[in-house]
């Protein structure tokens, strides 16, 4: 019960602080020409040059193709995926593709596609 009252007091204090900050008198407003933005009294603030973000796993509707590889081998600084099956026309040399070739073909690595038992390291890609 005392926790609820303490929480209510906290919320009332936050509300009071918010109302105090929002109801500043117009004499406190100032502008600056030094390149520092003071948004007191401004109704619209525009931010430009925001970076664009591209997500690899954007959801099921954004996935057009998948590729599943049963094995991954690392040798001589090259990762090769073998026993692969792609849902598009990706050229797989004897069912294998290197990591660099998969990225060059537009594949994005999603992650593991199965457990690591029996030597299998299944890997899933998407486009």
Q: Is 87:81 a contact under the CB 8 Å cutoff? A: no
Domain membership of residue 12 (yes or no) is no
pLDDT per position as a tens digit, 27-63 = 455 554 555 555 555 555 555 655 655 545 556 677 8
Top pLDDT among 108 and 37 is at 108
CA distances from 58 to 53, 55, 61, 63, 126 (A): 11, 5, 8, 8, 10
The average pLDDT across 78-99 equals: 89
Instruction: Write out pLDDT tens, residues 4-33.
Output: 777 777 777 777 767 666 665 444 555 545
pTM over 0.75: no
Instruction: Tell me, yes or no, whether 75 lies in a domain.
Output: yes
Q: State whether the Cα torsion 34-39-42-45 is positive or negative.
A: positive
What is the domain count for the chain?
Answer: 1
pLDDT at 116: 62
C-alpha distances (whole Å) from 44 to each of 21, 30, 41, 47 are 18, 16, 9, 10
- Asked if residue 105 is part of any domain, the answer here is yes
Report the distance separating Cα 115 and Cα 71, nearest Å: 11
Q: Is residue 101 part of a domain?
A: yes
Provide the domain limits for residue 65.
60-126
Residue among 93, 62, 98 nearest 77 (CA): 98
pLDDT at 14: 74
Is residue 39 situated within a structural domain?
A: no
In a domain, 27, yes or no: no
Q: 99 in a domain, yes or no?
A: yes
Query: Is the per-residue pLDDT at 96 higher than 90?
Result: yes
Within-domain flag for 51: no
Contact in structure between 105 and 87 (CB atoms under 8 Å): no
């Amino acid at each position: 019960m005392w926790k609820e009252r303490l929480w209510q007091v906290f919320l009332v204090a936050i509300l009071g602080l918010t109302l105090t900050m929002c109801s500043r008198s117009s004499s406190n407003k100032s502008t600056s020409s030094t390149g520092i933005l003071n948004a007191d009294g401004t109704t619209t603030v525009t931010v430009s040059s925001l970076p664009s973000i591209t997500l690899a796993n954007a959801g099921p509707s954004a996935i057009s193709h998948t590729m599943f590889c049963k094995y991954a081998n690392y040798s001589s600084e090259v990762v090769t995926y073998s026993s692969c099956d792609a849902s598009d026309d990706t050229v797989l040399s004897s069912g294998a593709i290197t990591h660099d070739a998969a990225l060059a073909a537009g594949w994005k690595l999603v992650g593991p596609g199965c457990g690591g038992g029996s030597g299998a390291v299944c890997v899933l890609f998407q486009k």
